Amino acid sequence: MRLVMIGSGYVGLVSGACFADFGHDVVCVDKIAAKIEALNKGIMPIFEPGLAEIVRNNVYAGRLKFSLDLADAVKGADAVFIAVGTPSRRGDGHADLAYVYAAAKEVAAASTGYTVVVTKSTVPVGTGDEVERIIKRFNPDANIDVVSNPEFLREGAAISDFKRPDRIVIGTDSKRAEEVMRAVYRPLYLNEAPILICERRTSELIKYAGNAFLAMKISFINEMADLCEKVGADVQKVAKGIGLDKRIGDKFLHAGPGYGGSCFPKDTLALVKTANDHDMSLGLIEATVDFNEKRKRAMARKIVAACGGNVRDKKIAILGLTFKPNTDDMREAPSLSIIQALQDAGADVHAYDPEGMDPAREFLKEVTYGANGYDIAAAADALVIITEWDIFRALDFSRLKTLMKSPVLVDLRNVYKGDEVVQNGFTYVGVGR
Ligand code: UDX
């Protein structure tokens, strides 16, 4: 099959590369010339484990191409995926659909023959209807069906999430489009990935409802963590205890500094806006968003408390900046708010992250970046784990103790067992324990 990905960002690039790996012919299109030029040289615009290799193999095999020429790519394609960004619009929190609609216009002008246009970007309910209207308005003769097919890729695990998905959701009423989409995903039948076919609006809502539920689950366990601290219970045992109940499930119950990233913060806000537009409010999701926002600064207060209530002119060493490990993504990372709050309180912040320091420099200008965890720990008043990269899971505490001014570890991801750290002469502060 001939497939086109419009947008060679996270979703478009991972999906395009994986579709090519399944044997389809794929063209990934983007408007940024430098990005296409780099991709053609094998340079990835993002850090995602395994991606560079899949891209290299499929470019070599001639199944994957990168292009600036959308019209040329769309000509004769079986399916065109719109995988452009839908950031939160400044001011009102609605998803900004300008890039989606611009892509729809270009597809309208370029499509020849029957083409399935697939919205893969996360788009509010009803966007598929608007994409269809736009295409029909710009090209009344266009022979297209517009389908919703949300992505559920986790950064850092995107390739395996794509190849072994929990489910594939396809939103369409058209039998013909359904057949095309089934053919697109046929290679995954081998892995027995369940395909859910539903109405387009339902499919659009599934994506938001899924992310909102997961965000709510995280805020729930974080709130329980706060309660654990008050009553002297252990949130990890609470998570295990409730997670063994199959109705609850054990995933997404890790207490921490709050969720971040390109999806949960944006999608929860957009869902609240959708409800508001329909004269209702989503109290549970609003509470989730509000709690998560406040939590980040609460984590800074936890660090200050661990330093005896004052961090003015103290050196705080931060391990991990990205919103989670195995990505270089700094979008909505809890570290941004936590570090800002520490600096507001007068702290001298030093940081190390295996992949996130370059992107972080743009947002965190007053931070001193180090070469590794031990480098930044020298003469520090406290060491703080914000992101649980593997490299921080086996720290040499005796070495750290000799380096640091005061041996204090604030472990915002509960990577360590507190008593083991304490045995090494450290003061240990975790989350919800
Ligand atoms: C998420 C969804 O998982 C994915 O299906 C969707 O398509 C895009 O958004 P992603 O943002 O890459 O993926 O990361 P995810 O692993 O879901 O983590 C999101 C945030 O929640 C991170 O900041 C992470 O640290 C936090 N988190 C996750 C917790 O604090 N506790 C948990 O138990 C799980």
Q: Is 291 in the pocket of ligand 1 (CB under 6 A)?
A: no
Matching CATH topology for 2-198 and 233-433?
Answer: yes
Q: Domain residues of the chain, as ranges?
A: 2-198, 233-433
153 lines ligand 1 (CB under 6 A): yes
Contact indicator for 292, 215 with CB cutoff of 8 Å: yes
**Tens digits of pLDDT across the chain (433 residues):** 999 999 999 999 999 999 999 999 999 999 999 999 999 999 999 999 999 999 999 999 999 999 999 999 999 999 999 999 988 887 787 889 999 999 999 999 999 999 999 999 989 999 999 999 999 999 999 999 999 999 999 999 999 999 999 999 999 999 999 999 999 999 987 778 899 999 999 999 999 999 999 999 999 999 999 999 999 999 999 999 999 999 999 999 999 999 999 999 999 999 999 999 999 999 999 999 999 999 999 999 999 999 999 999 999 999 999 999 999 999 999 999 999 999 999 999 999 999 999 999 999 999 999 999 999 999 999 999 999 999 999 999 999 999 999 999 999 999 999 999 999 999 999 999 9
Q: Which residue has the tokens 């806000």?
A: 269
Contact 188, 210 (CB under 8 A): no
Tokens of 115: 């083409």
- Listing from the earlier edge strand, what are the strands of the sheet with 79-82? 64-67, 25-29, 2-6, 79-82, 115-119, 144-148, 168-171, 195-198
User: Does the annotation count 228 as an active-site position?
Assistant: no
* Phi, psi at 169, each rounded to 5°: -110, 125
Ligand 1 contacts CB of residue 151 (under 6 A)? yes
At 218, phi and psi to the nearest 5?
-65, -45
Q: Is 212 in the pocket of ligand 1 (CB under 6 A)?
A: no
Q: How far is the CA of 358 from the centre of ligand 1 (A)?
A: 22
What is the DSSP-derived secondary structure letter of residue 141? T
pLDDT at residue 8, rounded to an integer: 96
Query: Going by DSSP bridges, is the β-strand pair 348-352/115-119 parallel, antiparallel, or unpaired?
Result: unpaired
Sequence-ordered list of residues with C-beta below 8 angstroms from that of 429, at least 6 positions apart, any chain: 302, 305, 306, 408, 409, 410, 411
Q: Which of 154, 161, 254, 291 to mutate to test the pocket of ligand 1 (most atoms within 8 A of CB)?
A: 154
Question: Which token pair is 277?
Answer: 């537009």
Query: Which atom in ligand 1 lies closest to the alpha carbon of residue 261?
Result: 11
From the list 18, 28, 228, 263, the catalytic residue is 263
CATH tag for 2-198 (out of 3.40.50.720, 3.30.70.890, 3.40.50.2020, 3.90.420.10)? 3.40.50.720
pTM of the model: 0.94
Q: Tell me which residue has its CA closest to atom 7 in ligand 1.
A: 152
Residue 152 CB–ligand 1 contact under 6 Å: yes
Query: What pLDDT is attached to residue 339?
Result: 98
Whether 218 is in the pocket of ligand 1, judged by its Cβ within 6 Å, is: yes
Which CATH superfamily does the domain covering 233-433 fall into? NAD(P)-binding Rossmann-like Domain (3.40.50.720)
Q: In this structure, what token pair is assigned to residue 161?
A: 């999430």
Q: What is the pLDDT of residue 188?
A: 87
Q: What is the per-residue pLDDT for 92?
A: 82
CA-closest residue to ligand 1 atom 2 = 154
| Centre of ligand 1 from the C-alpha of residue 78, in Å | 32
Q: Is the CB of 324 under 6 A from ligand 1?
A: yes
